[in-house]
Amino acid sequence: MPDQPTVALPVIGARPAPTRPPARLAHTLTARAVLVTCAVALVSVLVTALVAVPLAARGAERRDQAALAAQARLAADVLRVRAARQRDTVGDRLIRQLRQQDIEVYVIRAGQVDRAGLPRPVVARVAAGGNVSGRRLVAGHRALVEGRALPGGDGVVLTRATSSGPWRQVLRGLWLPLLAGLAAGVAAGLLLARRLARPIRTAAHAAARLRAGDRAVRVPVEPPDEVADLAYALNGLAAALATSEGRQREFLLSVSHELRTPLTAIRGYAEALADGVLDADAVPATGRTVLAEAEHLDRLVSDLLALARLEAADFPLDPGPVDLARLAADAERTWSDRCAAVGVPFRVEAPAGPVPAYTDPGRIRQVVDGLLENALRVVPPGAPVVLAVRPAGADPATGGVVEVRDGGPGFTDDDLAVAFERGALHQRYRGVRKVGSGLGLALAAGLVRRLGGEITAGHAPEGGAAFTVRLPGDPYLTRTSA
């Protein structure tokens, strides 16, 4: 037997796998997690400092004010000594001790302060017998002031200049918690990044193996939920790819077998003609056989090309208003003779009036011819083939329905679930009953979807299969009826 020709089918829409750009440290999950955690730690420390520093400074100031008040009471008690000489001696000693502690002492006698710098309202209040406590401007500087009144318009006022000492002390201690926070942020970021990046790296490795053709790869499912969802998605993708590629291999094997059959017949008869082994009377019959096989081969190639182009954006469609009743009448003139030639009754069921729809008349006729071709292939002589059309609803704008039924062997419920998958029925019934290439129903389903309709398969009352195509209505009728 001569070598069988092989046909290479191009992969439509294939694109080269994208190459991964070189990784940069700033773009890695680890680096970003560390930066985020460091930023969070830094912000936390700064917010804490903004809250703690004023509180600490105010607390220190209140302590200084309380200490100054205690010393003011002590000074007032000392200056109440009755003996003038003893009062002056003890008072001078106390004033020196207080000044050594950076406390200024102002003595008020008979409403007059002993030296300048003390605000006049403070002097007046103390001379009037009132006490003073708080912060005031003393000699042009802000200071803590504690004044105590003495009998006879006398009094004593102690002041201590306020400084930024508490602020500096707190700020000097800020670098240590800041450094500790940043260190903790780096450590937490590294741990978090490793924990987050590990399942992502595992998923990336699995995806690379899938791209390399390993369909047995699976990703372990582990918490948290987002990582588990990613694992489920990749595992589902791997299973879907394995199933799809298995069906594709089966489909290609079926198509290759269908292509080889007419090619083998054409080649065999061509060699017989070339070798002159055929009688002159057999040449016309041989030519008709070669022509029939060539037409079969042409239909196969056309179906393959149409299937390949169905999902393309530039697939040619010319939708418009169509009367499905007229389409059924046109199909009857073609198919009644073909069915009668093989002893199959052909019947058209259509209403008396028009059945409007909005579709491409050429494409929907292609769908009808394909469904009738499938029916005529399997139906036995004497069993009917029916083409029925009807409105989809009472409103003409709802569209129409085209139905092809036959009295053939029909389908099982399992067959109906895969009726429109490429080559599925061909694979099931090859060698059992007459089957086509397995492309016709897939092509019909794809065309109907592109036309905006839907197609279903079911059981026919005639005993065989029923294919129902629902087509949309004319949008102009929808607008005018609204």
Please give the C-alpha separations between residue 62 and each of 66, 69, 135, 162, 169, in angstroms, as whole numbers: 6, 10, 11, 11, 16
pLDDT for 438: 63
Q: Hey, how many other C-beta atoms are within 10 angstroms of the C-beta on 14?
A: 7
Which pLDDT does position 402 carry in this prediction?
94
In the predicted structure, residue 170 carries a pLDDT above the cut 90: no
- In the numeric block, the tokens 């949008």 are attached to 475
In this prediction, residue 254 carries a pLDDT of: 58
CATH 3.30.565.10 is the classification of domain 320-481: yes
Query: Which element (helix H / strand E) includes 160?
Result: strand 154-161
State how far the Cα of 280 lies from the Cα of 286, in Å rounded to an integer: 10
Helix and strand numbers, DSSP H then E, in the chain: 13, 12
pLDDT tens sequence across 333-346: 888 888 998 999 99
What number of other Cβ atoms are within 10 A of residue 95's Cβ?
21
Do 420 and 455 contact (CB within 8 A), yes or no? yes
- What is the C-alpha to C-alpha distance for residues 482 and 479, in angstroms, rounded to an integer? 5
pLDDT digits (tens, 9 = 90+) for 198-238: 887 888 888 888 888 888 888 888 877 777 888 888 888 88
Structural Rg of the chain based on CA atoms: 50
365-366-372-374 Cα dihedral, nearest 10 degrees = -170
Strands (E), 336-453: 346-349, 356-359, 385-391, 400-406
CA distance 352 to 337: 23
User: pTM of the prediction?
Assistant: 0.47
Cis status of the peptide bond prior to 224, with omega within 30 of 0? yes
Other Cβ atoms less than 10 A from the Cβ of 414: the count is 9
Token match 């070669």: residue?
Answer: 290
Residue 32 has pLDDT above 60, yes or no: yes
Q: Domain residues of the chain, as ranges?
A: 27-214, 320-481
Summarize the confidence of residues 453-466 as an average pLDDT. Answer: 91
Least confident of 8-17, 54-63, 360-369: 8-17
pLDDT at 10 over 50: no
**What's residue 82's pLDDT?**
44
Closest CA to 4 of 254, 184, 263: 263
State how far the Cα of 337 lies from the Cα of 379, in Å rounded to an integer. 15
Supply the pLDDT for residue 265: 75
- pLDDT tens, position by position, 240-251: 888 777 767 766
pLDDT digits (tens, 9 = 90+) for 277-318: 878 788 888 888 888 778 767 767 776 676 666 656 566 778
| 406 φ, ψ (degrees, to nearest 5) | -145, 165
| CATH number 3.30.450 given to 27-214 | yes
Residue 5 has pLDDT above 60, yes or no: no
Most confident region among 30-34, 356-360, 426-430, 432-436 by mean pLDDT = 356-360
**Cα–Cα–Cα angle for 434, 437, 442, rounded to 5 degrees:** 115
Q: Any idea which of 34-38, 199-203, 398-402, 415-419 has the lowest mean pLDDT?
A: 34-38
